[in-house]
Amino acid sequence: MKMLRTIPLAALLSACAASASQADEHRQLGAHVHGHGKLNIAVEKNVLAIELEAPGADIVGFEHEAATAEDKTKLEKAKATLEKGLELFTPDSAAGCKQTSVKVALEAEHEDEAEGKGKEEHAAKAKDQKDDHDHEEGEHHHSEFHVEYAFECAAPDKITNLTFGYFKAFPNAQELDVSVIAPKGQSSYEVKKDKPKLELKGVM
Ligand SMILES: [Zn+2]
């Protein structure tokens, strides 16, 4: 566990991303399950880094390109909500965390890729991994939000739990697979909508 402490934060986060899928990006988007997102949490010194990956379906309720004014308004609103990291993932106030940066990105398959190569991959995947597919017929592409937060915490060791306002803010979201890399080791959890809290006692 001691080695983990010396690995730079960026390397930890990219290692998480790389292990999530050996396939290319489109396959990765195609493989997501609506309602299920991922959260990577890493703590190093006074920096708490949180990375969220969530299907567009969970965040805005659709994954097609925003075409109408209504879609665009939904996207803007969602982005503004996603930017308030401390309201979505709230550590104990005793830890004294302040958000220092946030980056929101929306990644989507392009229409032409979805029609051509993407479609074949999609069909192949559907055969192999039926469980990973639960979206309505006629939807040939996915989109996914990637958000990177950085917080500075006066006393990160005082983080004993995280409260997930996320599920209230985004009612379509059901579950987050959470991985935590902290001074005392690495652990993973599932946090669900009906119990939107993550116990981290003894982890930080
Ligand atoms: Zn999708």
Q: Cα of 102 to ligand 1 centre, how many Å?
A: 23
Task: Identify the pLDDT of residue 129.
Answer: 46
Residue 119 makes CB contacts below 8 A (sequence gap 6+) with 140
Higher pLDDT among residues 198 and 112, named by residue: 198
In this predicted structure, the answer to whether residue 31 has a pLDDT above a threshold of 90 is no
pTM of the model: 0.74
Q: Write down the domain spans for the chain.
A: 2-199
Q: Cα of 202 to ligand 1 centre, how many Å?
A: 36
Higher pLDDT among residues 26 and 160, named by residue: 160
Q: Cα of 123 to ligand 1 centre, how many Å?
A: 14
51-82 per-position pLDDT tens digit = 999 999 999 999 999 999 999 999 999 999 99
Share of the chain above pLDDT 70, in %: 70
Q: Cα of 121 to ligand 1 centre, how many Å?
A: 14
Q: Cα of 29 to ligand 1 centre, how many Å?
A: 7
Q: Cα of 44 to ligand 1 centre, how many Å?
A: 32
Q: Cα of 157 to ligand 1 centre, how many Å?
A: 36
Neighbours of ion ligand 1 (CB under 5 A): 55, 63, 142
In this predicted structure, the answer to whether residue 108 has a pLDDT above a threshold of 80 is yes
Rg from Cα positions in the chain: 18
